[in-house]
Structure 1
């Protein structure tokens, strides 16, 4: 800036800056934010005016002055950045002031200070004759009470920002902002203000100042102002662990919380500002984002078919795959199914399989069910061989009326309950004679017939047993006899215990109900039917969880040996949303000798014991465990960095061709010891 034109602007900017230092209560107040000096090449001056009239005197309004090339022979364009309810300000922020009219009131000698004063004067004294919004002008002149109420509501929306920028404000946030601006312009007042915040009688004055600046940034819509407020917050955060008078003093315990707050707000504001881009066009505020949450935001993006952008959002927010990226991929697959231009069902199925089969955690059953609703049966059949649960496969096969394949899959897995489910569905869909013939054709059948009345049970079980023995299928005949014996035992228990309904239940369900209230009878029934230890322990811990018998579960877990290990105890507590109870099973003083060392990181991660999980995973050099911790736990930036660094070191070690030599030396050293 060497030209007279540039020198004129420099002098004007210095005069604007002096307005903030003027202590006269009657003088015009103006806070300078950004100028062409800080942004070479820019012709925009941003600052905040502080009106004097009610209700506008409760907030600082940011205005933008855009200097034309012809300035000072042509007036600048003035626009309100902060929304204001005023008859002389248009919806896009332009204000009607006579001094800005080129050729009339504006002259080359008119300064920027004169313009600021004229704008403040017009805000304090609206002119109905020059109203840019006729409805607001009519309301101002005819219904002043309603006008004042609406204007006040608009002002209150920016109250938190005002508390920081108000020159007369004594809040910690205002002091921190002033300290940052003084530091920016190399003013020694910065250190004095920081010392005031450090020695504040209020609890943790500097911490409150950082929080207020962060809160103000989250309530501000202009990204440039957000940036200034966040810079002030980060400036204050840097001094949280430093006592300016005694640098060796202890670190405040909440620094990590402030760090997380800063990181999260910066991340969320970055997302919100990107949502306002013309290609997305989804303007929401920070508070609206907090209310709707990330899941609803992703749903809105998916409804607009913005799959790629939605994927970027899930990565930015570090959403779990099942809530983020995997859900987006499922939605993409559904779009492929409903796309009218896709008529080749085999090609659709192959495209989906090629794109998604290698990605862990994709719920293919959701895609299959959607394809079934759309009557794309070829797609359904071709996707059934992808990894989905057996029960889900069988359910789809039954819907397709492929009874034979559904029954064979149920029988091959050895799950009698699942086989019963299939048989019940088949029995309900075909005549009884066809059903009995189907049973006779089967060589091996783990059978459990579901009947309605006690008399029918005895007759049909006896008949079925004879049919199977006649067909020389002794194994199935024995299973039928066992079922008859279970029904007889259920009758006996119902008469003994009263108000207990056991008929029609499987052996597992019967044992579970008895364990809840009649544990001795459950133990007797278990012995009668030779239920093995592994299966009985599973039933028992689930029964304890259902009746909220957590003390009994803890005592049960203290037994010397467990045929199912001790991780299922943790899992059943977590399923019941009893995290504190689950953590007790990770108590090293009680269960450490019983827990499987290789599963320790996974157990600690499930109960959100993050530090213990990370340390045990590093000790085991398990990349799988570190990945599990990252997916399941709520991690701070410090822990996330630790996991990534450890994972890289382990990977480097695994890639080292000399690692086996190191192992031999380590074994030799242990032998010498």
Structure 2
């Protein structure tokens, strides 16, 4: 009997059954669809209603102010706001994919409202405003196309990135009979295609072109594109319903209606049939067989879904859908399918009838399929008692079926519990199983939290094993915004009690929202509970807790975080305060010094001075002086050399303030003095060869240039010793080959370095004759012997060596003259003589 009662409500369209269960009795009051513009979101989404200003209505007891009201699908009001927009008449209204309400007014202004009737943003279809009023809008998922009085088409392809574009010029003078849109995802170009019913054909308008198609099928008075973009249902001027391919090349089927008056609404019911609605009749037409008629004594709104159509009236919400095959197999009158017998077997089992066992024996080979059919039929049911009966049948059959996935009933039960929860009138989201799978659980949870249904969203997340962080985060942020009267300490405890339920939740994100809401103290208390330093520190900086942020960053050991805090404090506060803040923290101080050494010496120098680290500042300035020396503009006699000398003089002053750096102070003083003298020499000689050379090189260069007075001044100024002075002058004079001056210099007084440097200087210059002037003056016979040998005088070298009575020297000198046999014999004779004398 139960099967008869269920199937009796179905209607047959050719060979397919359709049913129209009631989802809700609408709970709203004083909402008349004839007097309101209504926008209904798919997937059981919300309903927006506003009084239609295009119609003359009697206000009764209503306020003269127009209100935009938002309800759930059961008619429970969620929010409302006064409609104050001054953009003229409201032309179009629809919900975007992410449940933002889009309203377009006559002047081309687009208003975007949230789920809670809060104005999010506004924009205009034209950059400088439209010259002509908007006449009609066609929405799709996340976009809209509008046409104005001048037959110009404007498009917003994506409300998330709204950039209005004007489509190609249609060239039309009169308004088209109808308009439809093929979404970008179903077009070859990837751009929206607008279909305009023009005369007896259809005009396809894109951003970059216009083309005519569908000749001699019109005039078309109404068009609607199927959900997959492949088919178009159209109503012609002579009362025919045509279903065509989207390129208008093929007529799929045709049906002649009883009236040539175009329907108020035309909609697809899934992909199997088309609905046409006139004042009091809803006509459902399929490709075969007679149509099905539904009569209504009140206005309705058709809401297409992926698997049917929701029908909204003033009093209730229904869902017109094709009856699933599994349900037909069970409840069709007279059905002998295995699933029907299994369902019947459970009924007999409950009544303790032996017929139950008989039914099971009949379908034993088909039992897995029967169990699957019962599970599938249960998933498509809206009635909870019917779901339970079907699942019990499946469970009963599964007990006798070893070859069946045991988790199918569990998974379906889990899904149905979720669907039944969100279908409750207080939530008002009447999703079917197919819609739920297409929408996905995560999106459903997102919609629930946007509707502030946090508790059920949390329970569903927990039940399905989905991360609850998103739900708790949204609840916490909403709690902060809506609890301005609760003291910070009390609200903190309320938040912590919930936030601790979710491990790894971002306390910093909640604290950021508290700061954004103007509750900085609460934000500071919340961020203390954030375990992740990379999230905690930036927020502490944002709320002005720089010292705490530096401490947390230092504790974390993350140098990037420390640098983040340092730069923030550096740019924000006074310099001295920055110095005091980092001086006591070694890691922060060391990192700052490391950075400043590379990029900002001046700031680092001031830091060292302000913290009393005089020697560090001095060493830094000294390094700066050498860096300055690398700049060719600051050396080589340039006036820019002055600042460098001044810098070194300042270094000397700093070093002189400490007892531990006497040497450095003296070195800096002499360095500055030398640089100053070298600069003067470069200026006077116009030769950029003095700066940064040593004292010895400076003296040598002066002598080479003939500036003996300057050389003597450098010697005196830096207390150069006589021996060093002689060495430098000897080789300098030899370099310029001033042999007379060299000889004169050797006779001024007995050289403190002896005459050997004179000899070496001459020999190095390959002047043997000059060397002979000084070799006889060498007091050591060994030195004389070696000097004579170097200039090739073997006999004189032998004589000097014999005076030294040194066999080893004679042997060395013999090797020097190994190529000269006569010279070698002289050295052999001398060695024999010395050996003989030693023996005797």
TM beyond 0.5: no
TM-score where L is the length of structure 1: 0.42
TM-score where L is the length of structure 2: 0.35
In proportion to residue count, which structure has more helix? 1
* Greater radius of gyration (CA): 2
